[in-house]
Structure 1
Amino acid sequence: MFPIRLVARPGDDRTRVMVVGPAGPLATETDSAAELSELCRSADTPGRAGTVQVLPRPLRTPAKVLAVGVGAADEAGWRACGAAAARTAAADEPLAVVLPAGAAPDAVHGLAEGLWLGGYRAPGGAKTSRTAEVELVVDDPDRYADGLDVARAGASAAWLARDLTNTPSSVKNPAWFAERMLAESAGRPGLTATVWEPDRLAAEGFGGVLAVGGGSANPPRMVELAWAPSGATRHVVLVGKGVTFDTGGISIKPVGAMQLMRKDMGGAAAVVAATLAVADLRLPVRVTTLVPLAENAVSGSAYRPGDVITHFDGTTSESTNTDAEGRLVLADALGYAVARLAPDVVIDLATLTGANAVALGTRTAALYSHDDELARALFAAGEASGERMWRMPLPDDYAEYLRSDIADRHSSPAQGGGSVTAALYLREFLGDRADRWAHLDMSAPSWASAADGELSKGATGWGARMLLRYLSA
């Protein structure tokens, strides 16, 4: 990521970013105050969060001022301001953002996070990520140092999650992802990474992972990351769906639906990125992260509609749709988490269904949980980070749709809401931890078709910053 630093005085050679509220400038410099005030008066929407007005100043220093709206000056407004500034300025254009005297610490947190998120571009695209340094001009740099460090950790997690998800599946197979996690964890003291090879998956009974990955020339894996600091009083297990490409299997997807299936491991990207950030910040919470990895391909060895699959916990699933593969790999990991890890809380993230987008659109994930306290904490973390979610029902009568004539349960029933029944299916593997579990169906918000606020076109990294907020609380 490009550097951001706190300073008391801006460099003369930098484009100024002046912050504007609905009533006018919140912070100015004497030589441009009158011009900026006039610019705000003539603007259509002065001060709305993320709006930008450009003030050229030929033959003067600075030669250009960006007046960027911060709205109500809450953290979301500052985040929108930073993202807009990063997107408007050239990638190699140094900036100095002038904050008002006595700004709240959340201002620096939101602004820096927005700058880093808005300055991201997918690797290999027509535009490169921002490279030039940004100065945040504040009255007391030491006061805001912690907020900048936390923003850096969250933005770094989002950048990594976006990079992983944007990586083409011709590169990103299960072995590649596992090797990347070994490399990332190696430089973080106290964080351990274990890769489960196919032989171990078979010996331990991970039938769902093996079935989904059985049709590919790239065998499946599972990654287990463990952060266990001394004195930690709670143990959170994170599980992320890691299907590195999804053809739909024998129940093959149409071309349009298959085109972006490199994003089908967005849940895995989010949970590992959040865990690495936890280690960077050395948070006093124990975190174990499980990432079942498979490529759902079509071949003579692919699993078939109507197959019965035996999972880690010994129960069986009938699969009549091989495109409902994500829940099969999650089922093994969830069963393992409950049986072996003694978690206090289990949270899974998955690009599981397109059905949630019908109800919630493209910016909001579906949250399922029986635990009101856990649901409130995740919802609050999502609101604070700008990664929204909405709580959905888990009606017990819909569980009847999971009944199978030939197995313990049916993985993909035709009846009922697709996102709801998928969540109910996963609940079957939680045992006595079902009342301390949350499932986030985040297929739609994992991808942006165009740049929007702090989102760049492509992978959004949805969930990484939200999880870090939750784990930091």
Structure 2
Amino acid sequence: MPDLLTPALPEIDVRPGALTDVLVDVEDADLVLALPVGPDAPVPTAGPVAAALSALGQDPAALTAAWEPSTKAGSVTTIPLVPGERGVRTLLLVGTGAGTPQDLRAAGAAVGRAVKARSHLVTTLGSGAGVGAASAVVEGLVLGGYSTPRWGATEATAPVRSLTFAGRYDERVLTRSALRCRATMLARNLAVTPSNIKNPAWMAAQARTLGRRHGLEVSVRNDADLRREGFGGLLAVGGGSDSPPRLVELAWTPEGAGDDTPHVVLVGKGITFDTGGLDIKPAEAMLAMKTDMSGSAIVLAVLAACRDLEVPVRVTGLLALAENAVSGSSYRPGDVITQYGGRRVEIGNTDAEGRLVMADALAYADAELDPDVLVDIATLTGAATLALGRGMAPVYATDERLGRALQAAATATGEALWPFPLVEDYRAAIDSELADVNHIASGKVGGGSITAALFLREFVGGRRWAHLDIAGAGRSDKDSGHLTRGATGFGARLLLTYLEGVR
């Protein structure tokens, strides 16, 4: 079985010299060259790229006439070559569209897929185009080269082994982008692990392993601890399963941190499988439910990347882990449970379980961890998917500056967020006659993602808080661009980018 916790990254090298010299210096029998094709000149007939093509025995003008390479972002024209003294076996002409970061990410992803498991790639994609463009190219190349683990295989299919950028690049930017991609791949690996392997205890064990590897403090509350301390949401949701719930706490503290170092708490939903409970899901809706712990996988992956990226703030991650199963001990619609901190909640539908485990973790963070910022991420509501589809996620924030910072990080990483409102007029929809609050909205108010966010807000006190509902963006129905079918790891790169910028 492949090592899920150590996704393979290419060795990255930057060679600022002429492309012809770079190709001479690279000694590899399985060498691929990827060159950009833009709308102004499908294949340059002059300059360093043309010189490199000539050195490979190719006439740029004849190449364009014979192959008619497309300039559409992400299109790839594959030209096999007879290896000569330059050693290139395959030439890829890659459409870059208008050259925006989004186009370059698509171009990189197409190349990443084309060279998956190959030995060495040399490319000039994004050369001299700036930090955002270079990051987008790396994101495309690395994530496009990702393969979902196959159980029974001894090794995962890896991205290209070595990656040489020929031209003007900031190597630190490339390396840091690759590290954020590794966090995304780690989150994907955890989320696609089958639920007969993955339960709350298994996730807690992965957290302990990653904590040892990456310099994190890790503590795990088992079901006895949760009962003693009053985590009623986790206990209710996990009560129907033979696999008891867990709350995992991970902490990153940068070197030299003091009392004035900002503290960010991240909370991730960790439903390791969701049947819907007694309000059981239809069969087809259960097929993707092994990925219902994607929020916790993303938070764990983010914490595991903090040391390598030298994140400058204190970060605590809370993984709220439970399996929502069906048995005689399952919680019921109409029950009243007591969340951490004493707030009583009337249960409206057992298939809205994620907000209950999240409420426990958020209330604990508010009461005990004293964060400057509190952010949660969860595959929470089908309403988010109905509103925005698979391409972006709603973000809710009680603080405008926090919301803008997360949106800026999302723009930089191509993980699109759209600001949604916390509509005060909808708050009455979660009133309860039996308890402090109902956990789903009554009546026909609609706005299911909004009312879920309003419920979560009940447990954050007066903290600066943001909520990312990734029910749509956290899963992909097909291989597309830098995404693979299944879990996407959406949010890992944007949260790391946000944390790197907190001061």
Task: Tell me which interval the TM-score lies in, with the shorter structure as reference length.
Answer: over 0.9
Counterpart in the other structure of 2:19: none
The within-5 A match list for 1:419-430 is 419-430=449-460
Counterpart in the other structure of 2:200: 174
Counterpart in the other structure of 2:76: 52
d(CA) in 2 for partners of 1:458 and 1:239? Answer: 22
> Which structure 2 residue ranges, 5 or more long, are not aligned?
1-7, 16-21
What secondary structure is seen at the aligned counterpart in 2 of 1:253?
coil
What secondary structure is seen at the aligned counterpart in 1 of 2:197?
coil
Does residue 343 in structure 1 map to residue 371 in structure 2? yes
What secondary structure is seen at the aligned counterpart in 2 of 1:248?
coil
Provide Cα deviations, 1:390-439, integer angstroms capped at 9, x if missing partner.
11121111010111111101001243211111010001111211xx1111
Asked whether the equivalents of residues 121 and 457 of structure 1 are also in contact (C-alpha less than 8 Å), the reply is no
Q: Residue 224 of structure 1: CA displacement? A: 0.5
d(CA) in 2 for partners of 1:371 and 1:100? Answer: 35
Counterpart in the other structure of 2:265: 237
Asked whether the equivalents of residues 104 and 126 of structure 2 are also in contact (C-alpha less than 8 Å), the reply is no
Change (3 A) 1:204 1:35: farther
The two structures, once aligned, show a CA RMSD in angstroms of: 2.1
What secondary structure is seen at the aligned counterpart in 2 of 1:180?
helix
Counterpart in the other structure of 2:5: none
> Which structure 1 residue ranges, 5 or more long, are not aligned?
none
d(CA) in 1 for partners of 2:203 and 2:299? Answer: 13
Counterpart in the other structure of 1:454: 482
Provide Cα deviations, 1:338-360, integer angstroms capped at 9, x if missing partner.
11111111111010011111111
Asked whether the equivalents of residues 47 and 69 of structure 1 are also in contact (C-alpha less than 8 Å), the reply is yes
Counterpart in the other structure of 1:4: 11
d(CA) in 2 for partners of 1:404 and 1:57? Answer: 71
Give the fraction of aligned pairs with identical amino acids, expressed as a percent.
45
d(CA) in 2 for partners of 1:378 and 1:268? Answer: 18
Change (3 A) 1:144 1:252: same
d(CA) in 2 for partners of 1:44 and 1:348? Answer: 48
Counterpart in the other structure of 1:16: 33
Does residue 219 in structure 1 map to residue 249 in structure 2? no
Change (3 A) 1:41 1:445: farther
Change (3 A) 1:294 1:37: farther
d(CA) in 1 for partners of 2:339 and 2:126? Answer: 57
What secondary structure is seen at the aligned counterpart in 1 of 2:454?
helix
Q: Residue 42 of structure 1: CA displacement? A: 7.1
For residue 148 of structure 2, what is the amino acid of its counterpart? Answer: A
The within-5 A match list for 1:120-139 is 120-124=146-150, 129-139=157-167
Change (3 A) 1:372 1:259: same
Asked whether the equivalents of residues 18 and 98 of structure 1 are also in contact (C-alpha less than 8 Å), the reply is yes
Counterpart in the other structure of 2:461: 431
Change (3 A) 1:149 1:325: same
Change (3 A) 1:101 1:208: closer
d(CA) in 1 for partners of 2:359 and 2:449? Answer: 15
Query: Which one of the candidate residues 345, 362, 368 is aligned to 1:334?
Result: 362
d(CA) in 2 for partners of 1:210 and 1:259? Answer: 24
Q: Residue 7 of structure 1: CA displacement? A: 4.2
The within-5 A match list for 1:8-157 is 8=15, 9-10=22-23, 11=26, 13=29, 14-24=31-41, 25=43, 28=49, 30-32=51-53, 35-40=59-64, 46-58=70-82, 60=84, 61-99=87-125, 102-124=128-150, 129-139=157-167, 144-157=170-183
For residue 239 of structure 2, what is the amino acid of its counterpart? Answer: G
Asked whether the equivalents of residues 40 and 46 of structure 1 are also in contact (C-alpha less than 8 Å), the reply is no
What secondary structure is seen at the aligned counterpart in 2 of 1:216?
coil
Asked whether the equivalents of residues 265 and 374 of structure 2 are also in contact (C-alpha less than 8 Å), the reply is yes
What secondary structure is seen at the aligned counterpart in 2 of 1:219?
coil
For residue 189 of structure 2, what is the amino acid of its counterpart? Answer: D
d(CA) in 1 for partners of 2:65 and 2:126? Answer: 19
What secondary structure is seen at the aligned counterpart in 2 of 1:445?
coil
d(CA) in 2 for partners of 1:37 and 1:203? Answer: 75
Q: Residue 44 of structure 1: CA displacement? A: 7.0
d(CA) in 2 for partners of 1:465 and 1:445? Answer: 13
Q: Residue 58 of structure 1: CA displacement? A: 3.7
Q: Residue 46 of structure 1: CA displacement? A: 3.3
**Greater Cα shift, 357-366 or 74-83:** 74-83
Change (3 A) 1:204 1:365: same
**Could you tell me the TM-score, scaled by structure 1's length?**
0.94
d(CA) in 2 for partners of 1:460 and 1:382? Answer: 15
Asked whether the equivalents of residues 366 and 392 of structure 1 are also in contact (C-alpha less than 8 Å), the reply is yes
Counterpart in the other structure of 1:186: 212
Does residue 198 in structure 1 map to residue 226 in structure 2? no
Q: Residue 40 of structure 1: CA displacement? A: 4.8
Counterpart in the other structure of 2:187: 161
d(CA) in 1 for partners of 2:380 and 2:181? Answer: 24
Counterpart in the other structure of 1:379: 407
**Could you tell me the TM-score, scaled by structure 2's length?**
0.88
Aligned residues: 468
For residue 198 of structure 2, what is the amino acid of its counterpart? Answer: K
Counterpart in the other structure of 1:271: 299
d(CA) in 2 for partners of 1:275 and 1:36? Answer: 48
Query: Which one of the candidate residues 208, 233, 254 is aligned to 1:208?
Result: 233
**Greater Cα shift, 60-69 or 297-306:** 60-69
Change (3 A) 1:302 1:70: same
Q: Residue 369 of structure 1: CA displacement? A: 1.4
